[in-house]
Amino acid sequence: MLDVRQRWADLADAWRLRAVKRGLAGTVLILLGSLTPAYLPQNSPWWGPMRALRLDSTPAKIAGTVIVVAGILLLVDGWFRLRPSAYEEVKHWAVLLIWSLPFLLAPPIFSHDAYSYAAQGWMLVNDVNPYEAGPGVLPGAFADQVAWVWRYTPAPYGPLSLRLQQAIVVVGGLQPYVSAVLMRVPALVGVWLIVVLLPRIAHRMGINPQQTAWYATLNPLLVIDFVGGAHNDALMMGLVILGIWLSFKGELWVVGALVVGVAAAVKQPAFLAAYALPLVARPLERWAPGHLAATVARVAASCLAAIGAFVAVSWACGLGYGWLNAVNVPGLVVTVSPFTVAGQGIQIVLDFLRLDPTHHVAVTAARTLGLALTVGAVLFLAATVARRKPVTFLSWAYLVVAFCAPALHSWYVLWGALLLPLTRPSVRMQRTALWATVVLLSYSAVNLAWRNGALALGIAALGVFAWRVRDHERARHPELSEP
């Protein structure tokens, strides 16, 4: 009873802060904007009421875009104002819960991936393997929700993710929209693990838990992409962080490796954590042959345990390994991936000069270079940083993978960004991380505005975001302006 009273007291304390109310106003506005033509797929049940109110129009799209961009600005502003130097005692789980409430029953936010999850679950209900065909193979309401670019592509996700999607579709009464909204449930499980365990890991490492909780658990990217967007990356990262937490308890790194294998069955990038877990439990402090051999053996055992758990889960799911044929699927859309953008820029020049009849050689070469640099950078970090700073290795390696991959999404960046406060980042790195977060949010705003015929609004929002970050750095936290 006392625990429940304390939780209510924590929520009440958080609610008293103006910054928390500002952030809640932001998520409410994002919710309202998500219920307009600016967001929804064509067969959403919300279209009926909108058409009855004559909101099915270009002005309504632009108005929805304005509402969403204003919501993002308020959420970011609330996040800035809650920086630990301003509020030392606020409970971050309480703030996150308040901010997340408007999203719990909202349509998927800033991404239609949850609609794809629902369609893939529907395919399994009908005994169609999503590794062998796209949702369009079953025409109807589920497929109509899916963005056209994914409608005829196989699923790239792990088998456990697909079986969870099937179960959620059944629980959702085989209703397309309800099933898509319920995809938020496993994402919330992952968010809960992140919120509970990350500050505890920081405490074990002698790092400020308040700063860790502020940047990781209150980050607008997590609120929008993991809670609002219901991405399966949330469950993957929650399980990875659980594996790290277990590794701080000595020989439980073996159990942590098994958890990582289960996480990889949700989404495959989790495998990278298997290398780090035994080094979390026992870093490589010296290069003595016996010590080195024991460390190599533990790392090998961790990787084998993770692979074994993944294979066992895959066998239990009975879907095979068809995801191997879909690893290129995320790269089918245009994103702000640095190597893809550079390749497209060079390709424009080649096409203008008529030097490339294939019209894709520059993009292919740039993406290949990005993948090669990814492999090289991760191997370098594994051989140098990981032996004494395994969590730093994992954070940096995930960031390299996210930024050098053919496709870059903000929820990919969260893989490494969640762990970034645990790396003891320099002032310069903190500043870079802050700007990167806001740039990704700005891109989402600009992209939304462009889709709805309001590009000028998106560009204006970009300027407001930049001004707000500079104002935050100079006026409230001058230490971040250090060279």
Task: Kindly report, residue by residue over 284-311, the tens digit of the pLDDT.
Answer: 877 778 778 988 999 999 999 999 999 9
Task: Please report the pLDDT score of residue 479 as a whole number.
Answer: 42
Of 228, 233, 232, which is closest to residue 34 (Cα–Cα)?
Answer: 228
Q: What is the spatial distance between Cα 219 and Cα 239, in angstroms, rounded to a whole number? A: 19
Q: What is the spatial distance between Cα 49 and Cα 56, in angstroms, rounded to a whole number? A: 10
Task: Kindly report, residue by residue over 308-324, the tens digit of the pLDDT.
Answer: 999 999 999 999 999 88
Q: What is the spatial distance between Cα 56 and Cα 39, in angstroms, rounded to a whole number? A: 12
Task: Please report the pLDDT score of residue 42 as a whole number.
Answer: 72
Q: What is the spatial distance between Cα 472 and Cα 238, in angstroms, rounded to a whole number? A: 30
Give mean pLDDT, residues 367-395. Answer: 94
Q: What is the spatial distance between Cα 370 and Cα 376, in angstroms, rounded to a whole number? A: 10
Q: What is the spatial distance between Cα 76 and Cα 226, in angstroms, rounded to a whole number? A: 16
Token pair of 79, please?
A: 């996040």
Count CB neighbours of 1 within 10 A. 5
Task: Kindly report, residue by residue over 215-239, the tens digit of the pLDDT.
Answer: 999 999 999 999 999 999 999 999 9
Quick one: which H or E segment has residue 119? Answer: helix 113-125
Q: What is the spatial distance between Cα 465 and Cα 412, in angstroms, rounded to a whole number? A: 21
Give me the chain's average pLDDT, please. Answer: 87
Task: Kindly report, residue by residue over 14-41, the tens digit of the pLDDT.
Answer: 899 999 999 999 999 999 988 877 777 7
DSSP annotation string for 392-438: HHHHHHHHHHHHHSS---HHHHHHHHTTGGGG---HHHHHHHHHHHH
Residue 334, phi then psi, degrees to nearest 5: -80, 125
Lowest mean pLDDT among 146-155, 415-424, 425-434: 425-434
Residue type, 451: R
Q: What is the spatial distance between Cα 140 and Cα 402, in angstroms, rounded to a whole number? A: 34
How far CA 13 is from CA of 92, 100, 146, in Å, comes to 11, 17, 41
Residue type, 124: L
Q: What is the spatial distance between Cα 321 and Cα 303, in angstroms, rounded to a whole number? A: 18
8 Å CB contact between 240 and 276: no
Q: What is the spatial distance between Cα 429 and Cα 480, in angstroms, rounded to a whole number? A: 10
Quick one: CA dihedral 151, 155, 157, 158, positive or negative? positive
Q: What is the spatial distance between Cα 453 and Cα 58, in angstroms, rounded to a whole number? A: 8
Task: Please report the pLDDT score of residue 473 as a whole number.
Answer: 64
In percent, how much of the chain has pLDDT > 90?
54
Token pair of 482, please?
A: 């250090």
8 Å CB contact between 340 and 331: yes
Token pair of 459, please?
A: 């560009």
Residue 381 has pLDDT above 60, yes or no: yes
Residue position matching structure tokens 């089918």: 332
